[in-house]
Amino acid sequence: MLILTSGINIYNAAVAGAKRGYNYTTNDHAAYEAAIKESFDCAMSDLESHTYDDVMEVTKGDWRNALLPLELLKMHKHVRDNSGEWHVRVRIFNKNYSAIDIKLKDWNKLLKEYKAMSNI
């Protein structure tokens, strides 16, 4: 499932997941920020000039304000830490298609917001 959500929502969910110990690859919050900024930059590079200008105006050129794609990859528990806590792996659409684990509660909140936004 693919949704759109703000860059700041993705970042906040990533940090919360890191604090829960879900992301074994890195707990460096700057890495999450860089991956999301790269997603914004990749999206912007595909836009025509007039659309680019419109998006830059609306977002103030800041990835935090941009609606970015986020894809649910799987819901799972980590076996090695035996926490038994369900969470989800999501994909950030940057050059490397970064995957991070976030709290299930955060995913559900983002999904609910996306559905509400889609009904406008």
Report the pLDDT value the prediction gives residue 36, as an integer from 0 to 100: 96
Distances (CA, A) of 14 to 6, 21, 55, 89, 90: 13, 11, 24, 10, 10
pTM for the model stands at 0.91
d(CA 68, CA 35): 12
Neighbours of 117 (CB within 10 A): 12
Q: Which tens digit of pLDDT belongs to each residue from 58-97?
A: 999 999 999 999 999 999 987 766 667 899 999 999 988 8
Show the CA angle centred on residue 108, arms to residues 60 and 83, nearest 5°: 115
Report the pLDDT value the prediction gives residue 83, as an integer from 0 to 100: 65
Q: Which tens digit of pLDDT belongs to each residue from 2-56?
A: 999 999 999 999 999 999 888 777 778 899 999 999 999 999 998 999 999 999 9
Report the pLDDT value the prediction gives residue 114, as an integer from 0 to 100: 96
